[in-house]
């Protein structure tokens, strides 16, 4: 019989260890999904009439809610961006968009049974602080009237330091937001100019100081390596300055240059990009610098202080992944609102229209907005459990699979285990009677280990992913 938390605290130092082995990275680095879901978003099909209403009306009201709101507007175009964002300076756009959000919220809320507790909320985009302070208050008050919020919930928002009013952070804190996330990407002015995101270090320092003073529980900073004009020494200076700022979490992303897919990236001169060798050196330096500074490597580009709730959740075996990335509350159904927003309810994943005009049209007609759908099968639940625990906890426990799914994993996954032979020989993973463990050399390549268990992964998706590094 396994313990109730087989993924918790397996070894005292497991999450302190990460090794950067350049030769092994070169050997195994290949394109693959980021696994914010399984099946991944590439398996979406068209949504049939009436399906979204049935999903919402039959949802288990005992399951808490996580709410996501997609705010697509930005005032500036970042050239590295690969997202569906709308660049505008018209403040009226935000007010109009709020009305559509409210209509969607009312419609979905009218179909939900019971009174589920909201334990998590996130405003993403785009730039949610494109909304004025008054609009942020209006949205929050509307949500308070529609939903019941847990007093100790996780309420976060993405901000742009360049667009904050003097009162915005105080307004957000007064409303109940307790987490902030914002992009820095690089502190070198030449790089900032090349990607059209100029924000000097004193501005970042001021935002961090104000957020600390106001008592935000956790602050995340985004960095990107592989941008135009980035150099190894310059990126090292950036990471040293960021460490001085002491963010609670860091997301360090690999820039994938795909101008054929993302229009904004066509403004970047490919000749200005760092070489693959320099890019790999940058990432290695970041790994070493953050590890030396005491940050815990969470996985897939994410780091956190050991005292942060994300790091604690990982050590306790309670970390999860969803379309917002790593999440500390995995017992929630995710309800997404707004253009392109994704919901995850039980075995169902749905997505709203990705074009603003299409979203506005369907909401204006009084219809539910989802246009894409995935309904996972029992076999998907099994593989989802394996993939997500490999990515969240670097471990797959055979005993737990026997208990929960009634299978003999060494037989059901005999081919997959055999396919891990080379990784085991290279010291990336260990396979024993207890299960499969990702070792310190393999933690950076966790996605490659997870891909072994993805039965949807095939040539039909070639070219749709970025490489691990």
Q: Which two tokens stand for residue 391?
A: 């990515």
How do residues 116-129 score in pLDDT, each as one tens digit?
999 999 999 889 99
**What domains are defined for the chain?**
16-35+378-461 (1.10.10.920), 45-375 (3.20.20.70)
Instruction: Tell me: is residue 197 an annotated ligand-binding position.
Output: yes
pLDDT at 372: 97
Q: How confident is the model at residue 3 (pLDDT cuts 50, 70, 90)?
A: very low
Half-sphere exposure of 350 (CA within 13 A, CB side): 28
CA angle, residues 34, 39, 45, in degrees to nearest 5: 115
**DSSP helix/strand/coil, 441:** helix
Instruction: Tell me: is residue 83 an annotated ligand-binding position.
Output: no
Instruction: Tell me: is residue 255 an annotated ligand-binding position.
Output: no
Query: Radius of gyration of the chain from Cα atoms?
Result: 22
Is residue 398 over pLDDT 90?
A: yes
251 touches 222 (CB < 8 A): yes
pLDDT at 1: 37
Tell me how crowded residue 352 is: count the other CB atoms within 10 A of its CB.
25
Q: What is the mean pLDDT of residues 181-185?
A: 96
Instruction: Tell me: is residue 342 an annotated ligand-binding position.
Output: yes
Instruction: Tell me: is residue 125 an annotated ligand-binding position.
Output: yes
Instruction: Tell me: is residue 74 an annotated ligand-binding position.
Output: yes
Instruction: Tell me: is residue 185 an annotated ligand-binding position.
Output: yes
Distance CA 282, CA 234 (A): 9
Q: Which two tokens stand for residue 303?
A: 């780091």
Is residue 338 over pLDDT 90?
A: yes
pLDDT at 93: 63
Q: Which two tokens stand for residue 148?
A: 């019941």
Is residue 215 over pLDDT 50?
A: yes
Report the share of the chain in percent with pLDDT over 90: 83
Instruction: Tell me: is residue 126 an annotated ligand-binding position.
Output: yes
- This prediction has a pTM of 0.92
Instruction: Tell me: is residue 384 an annotated ligand-binding position.
Output: no
Is residue 185 over pLDDT 60?
A: yes
Distance CA 163, CA 119 (A): 28
End-to-end CA separation in angstroms for the chain: 39
Distance CA 137, CA 142 (A): 8
Instruction: Tell me: is residue 81 an annotated ligand-binding position.
Output: yes
pLDDT at 15: 55
Distance CA 199, CA 187 (A): 8
Closest CA to 454 of 45, 41, 33, 44: 33
Q: Which two tokens stand for residue 63?
A: 């399951």
Query: Of the ranges 2-6, 37-41, 63-67, 351-355, which one carries the lowest mean pLDDT score?
Result: 2-6
């Amino acid at each position: 019989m396994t313990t109730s938390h087989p993924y918790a605290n397996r070894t005292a130092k497991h999450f302190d260890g990460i090794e950067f082995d350049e030769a092994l990275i070169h050997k195994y680095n290949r394109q693959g999904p980021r696994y914010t879901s399984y099946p991944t978003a590439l398996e979406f099909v068209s949504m049939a009439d009436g399906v979204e209403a049935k999903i919402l009306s039959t949802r288990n009201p005992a399951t808490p809610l996580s709410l996501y709101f997609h705010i697509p507007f930005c005032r500036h175009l970042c050239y590295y961006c690969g997202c569906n964002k709308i660049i505008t300076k018209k403040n009226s756009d935000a007010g109009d968009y709020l009305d559509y959000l409210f209509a969607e919220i009312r419609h979905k809320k009218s179909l939900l049974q019971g009174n589920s507790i909201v334990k998590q909320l996130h405003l993403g985009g785009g730039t949610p602080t494109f909304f004025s302070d008054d609009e942020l208050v209006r949205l929050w008050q509307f949500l308070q009237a529609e939903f019941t919020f847990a007093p100790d919930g996780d309420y976060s928002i993405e901000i742009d330091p360049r667009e904050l009013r003097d009162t915005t952070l105080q307004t957000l804190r007064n409303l109940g937001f307790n987490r902030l996330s914002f992009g820095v990407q690089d502190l070198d002015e030449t790089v900032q100019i090349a990607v059209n995101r100029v924000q000097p270090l004193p501005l970042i320092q001021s935002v961090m100081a104000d957020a600390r003073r106001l008592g935000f529980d956790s602050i995340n900073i985004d960095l990107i390596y592989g941008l135009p004009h980035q150099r190894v020494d310059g990126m090292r200076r950036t990471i040293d300055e960021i460490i001085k700022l002491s963010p609670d979490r860091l997301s360090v992303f690999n820039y994938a240059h795909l101008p054929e897919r993302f229009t904004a990236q066509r403004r970047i001169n490919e000749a200005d990009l760092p070489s693959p060798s320099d890019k790999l050196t940058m990432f290695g330096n970041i790994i070493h610098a953050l590890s030396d500074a005491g940050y815990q490597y969470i996985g897939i580009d994410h780091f956190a202080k050991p005292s942060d709730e994300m790091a604690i959740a990982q050590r306790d075996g309670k970390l999860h992944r969803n379309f917002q990335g790593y999440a500390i509350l995995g017992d929630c159904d995710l309800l997404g609102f707004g253009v392109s927003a994704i919901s995850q309810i039980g075995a169902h994943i749905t997505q709203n229209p990705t074009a603003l005009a299409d979203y506005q049209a369907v909401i204006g007609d009084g219809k539910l907005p989802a246009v894409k759908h995935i309904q996972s099968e029992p076999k998907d639940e099994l593989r989802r459990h394996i993939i997500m625990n490999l990515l969240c906890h670097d471990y797959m426990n055979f005993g737990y699979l026997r208990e929960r799914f009634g299978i003999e994993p060494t037989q059901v996954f005999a081919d997959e285990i055999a396919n891990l032979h080379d990784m085991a020989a290279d010291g990336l993973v260990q396979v024993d009677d207890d299960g499969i463990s990702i070792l310190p050399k393999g933690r950076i390549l966790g996605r490659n280990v997870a891909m072994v268990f993805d039965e949807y992964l095939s040539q039909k998706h070639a070219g749709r992913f970025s490489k691990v590094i």
